[in-house]
Chains A and B, each alone.
Chain A
Amino acid sequence: MSEYILRTNKLTKKYKDDFALENVNVSIKKGEIYGFIGQNGAGKSTLLRLVTGLAFPSSGSIELFGNANLNELTDAQKRMGAIIENPALFLNMSAYENLEVHRLQKGIPGNECIPKTLELVGLADTGKKKAKNFSLGMKQRLGLGIALLSDPELLILDEPTNGLDPMGIVELRELIKKLNREKGLTVLISSHILSELHQVATSFGIIHKGKLLEELTAKELDEKCRQHLRIKVDQPSKGAIVLEDTLSTTDFEVMPDGTMKLYHYLDDVRTVSRALTNNGLVIEHLSQNGDSLESYFTKLVGGAEHD
């Protein structure tokens, strides 16, 4: 079986003359928590709507659990749970009744899964209270319960923290991590708040104006955002020895072009330059680099706008 749970190939969605998505290739591996980042209107929800079958692509294809044709895709959707845009609830029904409708719809045998799911999302004590009397956070949790009811292998959440209070956001994050850790649940989660996704996602896709700008792992993103001193000397191999021997650090990297990235001594640039010059090296470049998550995103998006 394919190691990919979800893949899109040149996925495009066009509304009249506007591209909501243009040639988007997203790849999500089993067990990943994939954070889909983009500004409002970037195309995040459009992609999720296409994947969940709510809308149809103008061109390109979707592969879900290794299935790509329409009938197989519909079948594969049984293995996924999703909240798109806002939780879709029967407002005149209780949390239990809402889950019962979805249990019947999905053909899940026995109703033991309902109290278990209500417990999982923290709505076990809502009794006969109707969903219309729920707070926004409770509605969001009920939506999550509906998505989790069938024990899916892929969970798709579109801006799930909308309307949640800070405690609710923390709880949701912990729940996602727990499900991912304990059940190996693959999660595709979209948000326009980078810092929020950064705390939970293991991979990222950055989308802007319908185009996927970059896909990277959390490790790669951290690397790109990690503060460092960028050093270029006339003899890179000797420079590395100086860093190790004189400054007693191994927390650096030598890049293919000979530039060194030093993650130590960020507040003590003088010591670094003195050590290098005292060992007879000529410093061609020395600067402090690295972005915050937000500035990295802004740079990427800004760059795309100038292209």
Chain B
Amino acid sequence: MADFGNFAIAIALTFCAFALFSLFYGARTGRRELVKSGERAVLAVFAFTTLAVVALEVLLLRSDFSIEYVASYSNRDLPIFYKMASLWGGQRGSLLFWSWILTGFTALVAFRNRQYAGKLVPYTLGILSITSAFFLIMNKFGANPFQQLVVDHGDGMQRVFTAKDGNGLNPLLQHPAMVIHPPMLYLGYVGFVVPFAFCMAALLTRELGAGWIKMARRWTLFAWIFLGTGILLGGRWAYVELGWGGYWAWDPVENASLMPWLTGTAFLHSVIVQERKNMLKVWNVSLILVTYLLAIFGTFLTRSGIVSSVHAFAQSSIGTYFLVFLIGISAFALYLVLTRLEFLKSDNQLDSYASREASFLFNNLVLLAACFAVFWGTLFPVFSELIQGEQVTVGAPFFNKINIPIAMFLLFLTGVGPLLAWRKTSWESMKHIFLWPVVIGVVTAIICIVGGIRSIYPVMSLSLSAFVLTTLVSEFNRGTRARMRNTGENAITALIGLVMTNKRRYGGYVTHLGFLLLIVGFTGQAFTTEGWGEVKQGDTFTIGKYDFACVSVQDISDPNYSGMSATLDVSSKGKKIARLSPEKRFYPASEQTTSEVRMHHTPLEDVYVVFANIKEDTEAAVIQVWINPLVSWVWLGGYVLVGGTIITLLPNRRERRIAKQKRSVEKLLEDAELVSK
């Protein structure tokens, strides 16, 4: 089966090389049959990469421990669900998974545009195939997941052997969120390759009109929402599984996923300015390129080990592959942009700083500043080691210090930007629009201060959130009333009609509402209460307003692990609200111990309980408790964010009708041509 997988990758790579040649050469020379055969080759690349993935899954399910990857990331007792997820549990498998998604997206682009007769799509498929070829080369030569397990018996000779059992998947990864989180992230990362390909194809063909930007925007939105969902699921996993009371630690891996998401967000805003005002063409092209490079860079960052130490880079063979590819593609992209500047001329004109386009400009600036701060903080240890010869750590305190003010400014722009008019908003108009939001924001700040909040950022965050919420509500309110006046519909029908006739605008507002909820949720971290208690059966302790009574401490066992569990009754003001049983598990296969957190959720706070330890002198269970305010708002914000994006992605009835009419006209013209022949 391993040979079959290897063979499938080799065939996929061969088809990829053929696709590259036939797509570029066919499009350049106008030989439609070559382009068609390139498109079919792209489908074949996907088919053979799928076979390679299937081969690895079969090896994992069969527990074939003659394969190094299977022996490293699976074991016999691992549940089937996690055995399948081991595909992305390690570096080699996850890179094959990357290739599979990328070749799938390439096939999807080819299939959806099979009727397209111009040059843009063949070039796009060609660019996608370049990235596919890079990853397939790595799958074949740099990080082959089908490599056999070998041992050195001390005589210098390496011999193939089959292990009797495997190391198992890291217990921390044995969680449903961790099964969904990496595919979501990969869909996001890989999704950003498609708009990049459209952009490069537009530069190569000099077809820099509205066509490519429309396709690039939809794919960016698609990638952006998957990456965002992946990031949130990662946070959810960290919160539930790691047991340290939080969901975001500014780890380099987390930062790597956040950076392209930030630049993608900037693009999704600035592209509106290009569509409406024919401005910022060079800027949008640059944002697409940067987002793509950051997506690849993120994979490089997490897979090369460069952040833990510059020396770790040399130990990882794939680091060199990535570095060469990144430099090569950056140089090529820069060359294309510089040589196509004359085709990227925009009608740049700004009537006022109090305009929608100016607010988008600031929004982009702030998002890029946030991205740079994350990039700089993540790579500063590398720079420090190179320049000072000494490693430093850049942890959460640094990122919080730098990024919280930036997030506040972004929140402010979220409230202001959408309400400003294109070209210019008069002072009178601004007074009319912003009076109530400002009043409510100030009142919220006063309530916060009177309520005892003395830190500046929580007060700012909550008052700005109130300001933004009021602007959003007033925008929906005014739109609904305008529609009611025109159609005579009731409020709910008018609201639904309002959203459905301009999904992009109002879906965007819903997304802003999600962002707002996220910020409120993040603010809750400023009010976390933490404590612990030592309990035996019948003992109690109190943290904040909650009392914890230990019902029992008992052993637990499972074929995959064994451990202990403490059962606690949680009550507040004498009323029982939950029974929680946090666990401490020991996984023999990987010789790791983990904490299984148990929580009681309310809309206002989470009671987060961890079985920390057994105190050996007293034999009491040590229970760590966090009272985390507003965490549910983070997850709710995530759902709203996804919901808003889905609304913007829904097909537009009007656009569909126009496209249908266009297709009918094209068919009529084709028929007429045939008749005349």
A interacts with B: no
Interface residues of A (CB under 8 A from B): none
Interface residues of B (CB under 8 A from A): none
